[in-house]
């Protein structure tokens, strides 16, 4: 490449890509991000109706003759709704008023493709809008995470950057100790203008910086469940035990695309979820972080109300999600699903998913949510302060 | 960034080729710049993009060809493979009859578990077979295209469970790897592993399962945004009846489960069956554009040029979906050779591992270990993460996978005395870990990893002098990103180049 081509390619690449995020705004006070956000992705699209079960609704049993959760098995929360029995580990949180259940979360003109719909969720776009940057990356750009933090975001498990995509200081790891051992193989470097190369150089930088901040943590006494989600929770806890803080963590539990033989598979997944979240609470209590942590579940969509011929469920729309933490006002939010008012067999949404994000940005972190979310979304009154 | 290498001998030769071609034009003889020989850099580029880690000898051979000759050669049918589908023999069990689900249901819990464990072990043997084939094949592009189709028409051992059916799908993909896309689409839609993977057998009249209908439009032919939800519902009805024989797991059409009513798909109305719908999809101009766009991202650059994609897609459609015709246009396009498009693609874990073995001239006694490494880097063959396949590109590289790649290089360059079990520290990205745990556990029993070792004495005999510039040109698609310390030994120098970020690029 000659000099002129090089300059052209420099001009073509947004200047922003070369500047660290703190150039764009006054540094956010460290206190903002001392409050932690943990996102838990239920990948493949969790079946909200068999998670938060409308057990008093005859229509539910009529549409799901084979896969409905029996009334007697439901862990009743109210007279109309209750949890899947495998979520028993969440009952103590419900009783302590630390578990919010938000029903009917979705967005207008839902897209039923896994890939497109999770892109909509990750970028907080509308159904017709294609955005590149994740919603947390946009929030971190507008309100930079202080440099001394080990990282803005930590991805445990599923490597897809999701809400962090497009320029936030994020590291992916599976096991903290292993990460620290290997980090010596990384070398910091400077961007060159080749996008793929810059990406790799950026990852090397992030590794070097994260390794400085994540070490030095004390061992935890909390026991974590076996299995991949238990391991992810363990890793998240060890990240939080490190020398320097992080602003957000994303965990993933895979396997919710239950088109076939749903009951056994789903029960197993929810058991992992329930046990994992209970262990996460225990670890956060041990670290003194439970009151300063907000945990949100999310997924690309819910599942079709009527079961399919394979004892499974096809792709749907609106869904129930959990919000938990020491600062959460427990209870039911949104509205109970209206199975008598389906649109092409799917539930209508009553809470825009961006309202959950706005709640995290505005009410939890005290930041502007309109910029990062590209519009004003009502926040939910589910935090204690 | 690619740097100019014109001062080197091959560059000078290439330049002379251009000069000769130029003078031919001046004297009125019909010819073009493409009649110049490629030289080392072009040859390396072509080989790296269409194969796995080119070696010095391969580069030298291609350097003497013109671009057209080189492209013709990578696309050529290789007689050594042509009658069979691979040069190496598959595991013997691919001939065995499988035990259908009906039979499995009657087994005791222990026997059923043992059978499924056996399938997992076999799937590891299958990976080893394929990886070895990639390493030794005389037609690397055929392997790259088989992998391309595996990532396009995805199916996973994890859901399919029968290793023999995964093998069979692989055979189908390699038969058509450089053949006809329309034929491949029809065949793979009836492939038993695909029937299981996308739930076609449970798609029945009055009880449709939309999984296959959705993915065949979104991922196999048209791409998102080129159909409606109604098209999916209607197409799912057309695919009803496609099923498997209960005993042999062969494809079987069951007319009594087929919805024979009228359907409207993409504006056309008729009593369509599944094949009709596939033909309707293939008739959409978007189908050829979608496939060519995907080939572009695989072979040319991360950002397809829409005008060029449409031009090549037109050729593809005019050829009635001849995959070679599309690839030929793509590989001879100006964009493929453009300097700005060199070293802009990230090697997949398979390319990275197989390419490293080839470039460092290592044999692999224990190929299954390599399969474990690839899985740890995020690409577990026969088990893509979901129906969309591996996202690829920059997504291959995050902090966990980059460190794992570097650690793999470290192990290849370890000294004899530092040999130690490697399995425990091969990291696994969470997704791989979660989804593929059973597969990996089946493999992990055979840990520790047994990786080959770089033998520098032998390797350097192909090069001349202490710091032959050809070393860097073989190993890297562009100048290294990190400065190379002067005081390194030859062996350490090569290791340094392989640890450079540019080594991740092709």
Inter-chain touch A174–B434, beta carbons under 8 Å: no
CB-CB: which of A1, A158, A194 is closest to B430?
Answer: A158
Nearest chain A residue (CA) to B207:
A309
**Structural domain total, chain A:** 1
Q: How confident is the model at residue B376 (pLDDT cuts 50, 70, 90)?
A: confident
A186/A201 Cα distance (integer angstroms): 9
Query: What is the average pLDDT across B56-67?
Result: 96
Q: How confident is the model at residue B80 (pLDDT cuts 50, 70, 90)?
A: low
A20/B463 Cα distance (integer angstroms): 43
CATH of the domain at A311: 3.40.720
User: Same domain for B468 and B369?
Assistant: yes
CB-CB: which of B208, B346, B406 is closest to A196?
Answer: B346
User: Same domain for B130 and B247?
Assistant: yes
Q: How confident is the model at residue B390 (pLDDT cuts 50, 70, 90)?
A: very high
Inter-chain touch B399–A187, beta carbons under 8 Å: no
Residue B23 in this model has a pLDDT that exceeds 80: no
What's the confidence (pLDDT) of residue B163? 96
Q: Is residue B131 part of a domain?
A: yes
Residues in B touching A9 (Cβ below 8 Å) = 340
The percent of residues in chain B predicted with pLDDT above 70, rounded, is 85
**Average pLDDT for chain B:** 87
Choose from A8, A117, A159 for mutation: most chain B CBs within 10 A: A159
Choose from B434, B439, B440 for mutation: most chain A CBs within 10 A: B434
DSSP assigned state of A383: B
User: Same domain for B380 and B426?
Assistant: yes
A350/A358 Cα distance (integer angstroms): 15
Query: What is the average pLDDT across B45-56?
Result: 97
User: Same domain for B45 and B22?
Assistant: yes
User: Same domain for B273 and B301?
Assistant: no
Residues in A touching B478 (Cβ below 8 Å) = 194, 197
- Classify strands B268-270 and B263-265 as parallel, antiparallel or unpaired: antiparallel
pLDDT in tens, A128-158: 888 889 999 999 999 999 988 999 999 997 7
User: What is the number of other CB atoms lying within 10 angstroms of the CB of residue B138?
Assistant: 11
Q: Is residue B249 part of a domain?
A: yes
pLDDT in tens, B276-319: 999 999 999 999 999 999 999 999 999 999 999 999 999 999 99
User: Tokens in use for B412?
Assistant: 């290849």
Inter-chain touch A158–B343, beta carbons under 8 Å: no
CB-CB: which of B2, B199, B482 is closest to A1?
Answer: B2
* The domain boundary residue, chosen from B266, B282, B298: B282
Query: What is the average pLDDT across B352-369?
Result: 91
Cβ-based burial of A171 (10 A; exposed 0-12, middle 13-18, buried ≥19): buried
- Phi, psi for B210 (deg, rounded to 5): -85, 0
User: Same domain for B46 and B180?
Assistant: no
What's the confidence (pLDDT) of residue B206? 87
B402/A311 Cα distance (integer angstroms): 41
Residue B155 in this model has a pLDDT that exceeds 60: yes
B284/B316 Cα distance (integer angstroms): 12
pLDDT in tens, B95-130: 999 999 989 989 998 998 899 899 999 999 999 999
Residues in A touching B403 (Cβ below 8 Å) = 179, 182-183, 185-186, 207
Task: Give B185→chain A minimum CA distance, Å.
Answer: 21
Q: Is A39:A251 a contact under the CB 8 Å cutoff?
A: yes
Range of the domain at A97: 3-373
DSSP letter for each residue of B93-122: GGGSPP--HHHHHTS-HHHHHHHHHHHHHH
User: Same domain for B50 and B196?
Assistant: no
Inter-chain touch A196–B344, beta carbons under 8 Å: yes
Residue B48 in this model has a pLDDT that exceeds 70: yes
Chain B, residues 18-57, CB within 8 A of chain A, namely: none
Inter-chain touch B433–A253, beta carbons under 8 Å: no
The percent of residues in chain B predicted with pLDDT above 90, rounded, is 69
What's the confidence (pLDDT) of residue A223? 97
Nearest chain A residue (CA) to B206:
A309
The percent of residues in chain A predicted with pLDDT above 70, rounded, is 92
* The domain boundary residue, chosen from B320, B341, B362: B341
Range of the domain at B498: 349-504
Q: How confident is the model at residue B82 (pLDDT cuts 50, 70, 90)?
A: low
Give the Å distances, CA to CA, from B158 to A169, B132, B152.
Answer: 33, 22, 17
Task: Give B370→chain A minimum CA distance, Å.
Answer: 20
* The domain boundary residue, chosen from B303, B319, B341: B341
B481 has a chain A CB within 8 A of its CB:
yes
Choose from B400, B425, B500 for mutation: most chain A CBs within 10 A: B400
B397 has a chain A CB within 8 A of its CB:
yes
Residue B429 in this model has a pLDDT that exceeds 50: no
Inter-chain touch B430–A232, beta carbons under 8 Å: yes
Residues in B touching A161 (Cβ below 8 Å) = 395, 398
User: Tokens in use for B166?
Assistant: 């995964």
Asked which of A330-334, A377-381, B421-425 is least confident by mean pLDDT, the reply is B421-425
Q: Is residue A90 part of a domain?
A: yes
Q: How many residues does chain B have?
A: 506
User: What is the number of other CB atoms lying within 10 angstroms of the CB of residue A117?
Assistant: 21
pLDDT in tens, A225-259: 999 999 999 999 999 999 999 999 999 999 999 99
CB-CB: which of A44, A155, A192 is closest to B1?
Answer: A192
Residues in A touching B209 (Cβ below 8 Å) = 259, 308-310, 312, 314
Give the Å distances, CA to CA, from A89 to A40, A232, A277, A332.
Answer: 16, 17, 8, 18
Whether this prediction's pTM lies above 0.95 is answered by: no
B386/B396 Cα distance (integer angstroms): 15
DSSP letter for each residue of A37-80: EEEEEETTT--GGGTEE-TT-HHHHHH-TTTPPPGGGSEESSSS
**Predicted ipTM?**
0.87
Inter-chain touch B430–A201, beta carbons under 8 Å: no
**Structural domain total, chain B:** 4
The percent of residues in chain A predicted with pLDDT above 90, rounded, is 76
User: Distance from first CA to last CA of chain B, Å, rounded?
Assistant: 11
Residue B431 in this model has a pLDDT that exceeds 70: no
Query: Which residue reads 């890297």 in tokens?
Result: B476
Higher-confidence position of B369 and A51: A51
User: Same domain for B193 and B208?
Assistant: yes
User: Same domain for B245 and B111?
Assistant: yes
What's the confidence (pLDDT) of residue A190? 76
B435 has a chain A CB within 8 A of its CB:
yes
Q: Is residue B88 part of a domain?
A: no
Asked which of A97-101, A184-188, A205-209, B83-87 is least confident by mean pLDDT, the reply is B83-87
User: Distance from first CA to last CA of chain A, Å, rounded?
Assistant: 57
B501 has a chain A CB within 8 A of its CB:
yes
CB-CB: which of B199, B224, B407 is closest to A182?
Answer: B407
What's the confidence (pLDDT) of residue B21? 39
User: Same domain for B18 and B130?
Assistant: no
Residue A337 in this model has a pLDDT that exceeds 70: yes
Residue B16 in this model has a pLDDT that exceeds 60: no
Inter-chain touch B425–A314, beta carbons under 8 Å: no
Residues in B touching A197 (Cβ below 8 Å) = 1, 343, 478, 481, 501-502, 505
Q: Is residue A385 part of a domain?
A: no
Choose from B403, B420, B440 for mutation: most chain A CBs within 10 A: B403
Residue A185 in this model has a pLDDT that exceeds 60: yes
CB-CB: which of B398, B433, B504 is closest to A228?
Answer: B433
Q: Is residue B90 part of a domain?
A: no
Among A167, A46, A171, smallest CA distance to A117 is for A46
What are the helix and strand counts (H, E) for chain B? 25, 4
User: Tokens in use for B155?
Assistant: 């199916």
What's the confidence (pLDDT) of residue B448? 57
């Amino acid at each position: 490449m000659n000099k002129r081509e090089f300059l052209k390619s420099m001009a073509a690449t947004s200047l922003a890509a070369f500047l660290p995020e703190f150039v764009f705004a006054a540094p956010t006070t460290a206190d903002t991000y001392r409050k932690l956000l943990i996102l838990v992705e239920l990948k493949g699209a969790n079946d909200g109706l068999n998670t938060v079960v409308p057990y008093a609704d005859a229509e539910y049993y009529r549409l799901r003759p084979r896969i409905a959760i029996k009334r007697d098995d439901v862990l009743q929360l109210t007279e109309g709704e209750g949890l899947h029995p495998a979520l028993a580990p969440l009952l103590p949180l419900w009783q302590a008023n630390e578990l919010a259940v938000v029903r009917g979360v979705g967005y207008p003109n839902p897209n039923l493709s896994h890939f497109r719909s999770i892109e909509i969720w990750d970028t907080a776009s509308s159904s017709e809008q294609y955005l590149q940057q994740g919603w947390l990356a946009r929030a971190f750009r507008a309100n930079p995470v202080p440099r001394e933090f080990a990282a803005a975001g930590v991805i445990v498990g599923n490597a897809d950057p999701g809400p962090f995509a497009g320029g936030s200081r994020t590291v992916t790891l599976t096991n903290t100790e292993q990460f620290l051992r290997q980090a010596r193989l990384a070398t910091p470097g400077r961007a060159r203008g080749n996008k793929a190369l810059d990406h790799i150089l950026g990852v090397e930088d992030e590794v070097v910086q994260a390794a400085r901040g994540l070490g030095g943590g004390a061992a935890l006494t909390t026991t974590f469940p076996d299995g991949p989600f238990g391991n992810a929770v363990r890793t998240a806890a060890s990240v939080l035990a490190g020398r320097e803080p992080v602003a957000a963590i994303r965990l993933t539990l895979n396997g919710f695309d239950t088109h076939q033989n749903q009951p056994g598979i789903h029960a197993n997944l929810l058991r992992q979820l329930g046990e994992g979240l209970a262990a996460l609470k225990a670890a956060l209590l041990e670290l003194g972080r439970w009151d300063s942590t907000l945990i949100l579940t999310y997924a690309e969509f819910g599942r079709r109300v009527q079961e399919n011929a394979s004892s499974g469920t096809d792709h749907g729309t609106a869904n129930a999600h959990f919000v938990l933490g020491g600062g959460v006002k427990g209870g039911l939010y949104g509205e109970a699903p209206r199975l008598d008012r389906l649109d092409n067999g799917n539930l209508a949404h009553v809470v825009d998913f961006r309202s959950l994000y706005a709640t995290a940005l505005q009410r939890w972190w005290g930041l502007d949510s309109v910029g990062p979310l590209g519009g004003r979304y009502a926040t939910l009154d589910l935090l204690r302060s | 960034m690619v740097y100019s290498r014109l001062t080197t001998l091959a560059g000078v030769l290439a330049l002379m080729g251009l000069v000769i071609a130029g003078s031919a034009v001046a004297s009125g003889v019909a010819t073009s710049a493409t009649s110049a020989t490629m030289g080392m850099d072009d040859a390396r580029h072509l080989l790296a993009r269409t194969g796995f880690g080119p070696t010095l000898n391969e580069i030298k051979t291609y350097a003497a060809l013109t671009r057209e000759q080189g492209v013709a050669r990578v696309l050529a049918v290789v007689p050594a493979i042509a009658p069979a589908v691979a040069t190496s023999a598959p595991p013997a069990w691919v001939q065995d009859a499988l035990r259908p689900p009906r039979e499995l249901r009657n087994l005791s819990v222990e026997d059923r578990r043992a059978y499924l464990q056996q399938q997992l072990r076999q799937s590891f043997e299958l990976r080893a077979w394929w990886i070895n084939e990639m390493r030794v094949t005389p037609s690397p592009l055929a392997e790259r295209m088989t992998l391309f189709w595996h990532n396009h028409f995805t199916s996973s051992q994890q859901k399919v469970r029968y290793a023999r059916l995964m093998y069979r799908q692989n055979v189908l993909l390699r038969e058509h790897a450089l053949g006809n896309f329309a034929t491949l689409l029809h065949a793979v839609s009836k492939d038993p592993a695909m029937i299981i993977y996308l739930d076609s057998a449970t798609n029945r009249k009055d009880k449709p399962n939309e999984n296959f209908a959705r993915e065949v439009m979104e991922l196999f032919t048209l791409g998102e945004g080129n159909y409606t939800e109604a098209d999916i519902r209607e197409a799912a009805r057309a695919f009803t009846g496609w099923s498997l024989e209960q005993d042999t797991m062969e494809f079987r059409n069951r007319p009594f489960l087929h919805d024979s009513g009228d359907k409207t798909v993409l504006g056309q109305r008729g009593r369509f069956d599944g094949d009709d719908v596939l033909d309707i999809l293939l008739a959409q101009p978007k189908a050829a554009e979608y496939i060519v766009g995907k080939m572009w991202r695989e072979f040319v650059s991360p950002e397809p040029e829409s005008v060029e994609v449409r031009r090549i897609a037109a050729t593809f459609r005019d050829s009635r979906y001849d995959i070679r015709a599309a690839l030929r246009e793509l590989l001879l396009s100006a964009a493929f050779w453009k300097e700005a498009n060199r070293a802009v693609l990230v090697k997949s874990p398979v390319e990275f591992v197989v390419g490293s073995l080839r470039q460092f001239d290592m044999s692999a006694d224990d190929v299954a270990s390599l399969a474990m490494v690839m899985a740890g880097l995020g690409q577990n063959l026969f088990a893509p993460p979901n129906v969309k396949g591996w996202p690829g590109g920059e997504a291959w590289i995050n902090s966990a996978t980059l460190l794992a790649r570097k650690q793999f290089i470290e192990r290849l360059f370890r000294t004899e005395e530092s040999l130690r079990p490697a399995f425990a520290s091969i990291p696994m990205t969470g997704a791989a870990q979660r989804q593929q745990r059973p597969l990996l556990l089946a493999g992990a029993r055979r840990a520790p990893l047994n990786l080959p070792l770089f033998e520098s004495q032998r390797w350097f005999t192909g090069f001349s002098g202490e710091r032959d510039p050809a070393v860097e040109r073989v190993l890297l698609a562009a100048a290294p990103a990190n400065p190379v310390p002067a005081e390194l030994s030859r062996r350490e120098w090569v290791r340094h180049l392989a640890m450079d970020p540019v080594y991740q690029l092709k």
